[in-house]
Chains A and B, each alone.
Chain A
């Protein structure tokens, strides 16, 4: 009896530890997501819309989950350097307009990417300032 009780206690302790670890990671992502939303409202929402729906053919939507997945390492460059002289095909539609450059800190870009890639139908998880730094080093 005593042995099984001890076993139960250890199992519960371990599962709690694992659970809280997962929670800590989720918490980090939630914090980034909420901060990213503030950055989005301030810099992106006017063109890309409250629901990431875009603005006619002037600004593309952010709901093309495949595009955002395939181009994940380019998103930081798009934000930091802007886009010009490039035609992007998003949701099967061609967009050839300009996007202005936003000189944001890596942490802001990372949080913004977390917000965009976990909203509007996307579900890509966490992204860190280190990953952003790596992406920016490889910008075309």
Chain B
């Protein structure tokens, strides 16, 4: 092999890489565990399909004390997080960033926001309402969810893959991660972003646009 053919080979492989990088850019990854399942086709044959992790049915009270379920988020992409109103460490920064995104997508009926409180003792719907109002959030686009400890902590860890702990030795009792999770219209996890990190939030803003485009094309 002479130098010229090596050069040609590397050039062509580089070009292929470039092209494939372009076409991949339009899709976000699907996060979480997955399994292969056998499905029956209409013609009687069977094939293997991938079953992705999805957010299961849920039922919480929101800041207006009305029931919200997974149907509230039907045909929406949404950003979910876990917080509590008296948190002074990471939550204010998370919600400062979420509010920016909320302002960007205000009145876009395909985008919603869901903040779950992990302070099931104090953050009753009326407290959540007061918090939302002070944050400058009105209407149904941003839901603040209140539920039992079991239901909220289980959905956080098992489904949104966000760690939350009640630890009475900590000054603020509740400890949690600051992830903002991006959920698509099929209830699948499509991204996890550190809500306290400027760069990560900038990536989320870009990824929302990418996901909306993907949902548009799937219609």
Q: Which residues of chain A have a CB within 8 Å of any CB of chain B? A: 45-47, 49, 55-59, 97-98, 100
Contact = CB atoms under 8 A, between A and B. Distances in A.
B96 interface: yes
B136 A47 contact: no
B90 A46 contact: yes
Contacts of B136: 56-57
Interface in B71-127: 86, 88-93, 95-96, 99
A56 B89 contact: no
Nearest to B96: A55
Contact of B134 (A45, A49, A57, A100): A57
Interface residues of B, number: 17
B135 interface: yes
A5 to B, nearest CB: 60
Nearest to B99: A56
B88 A46 contact: yes
Given A56-B99, A97-B134, A46 B92 contact: yes
Contacts of B90: 46
B60 interface: no
Contacts of A56: 99, 134-136
B193 interface: no
17 contacts: A46-B89, A46-B93, A49-B96, A55-B92, A55-B135, A56-B134, A56-B135, A57-B133, A57-B134, A57-B136, A58-B134, A58-B135, A59-B92, A97-B134, A98-B86, A100-B86, A100-B172
B42 to A, nearest CB: 54
B131 interface: yes
A99 to B, nearest CB: 8
A94 to B, nearest CB: 11
Nearest to B85: A58
Nearest to B94: A46
A21 B16 CA distance: 68
B135 A47 contact: no
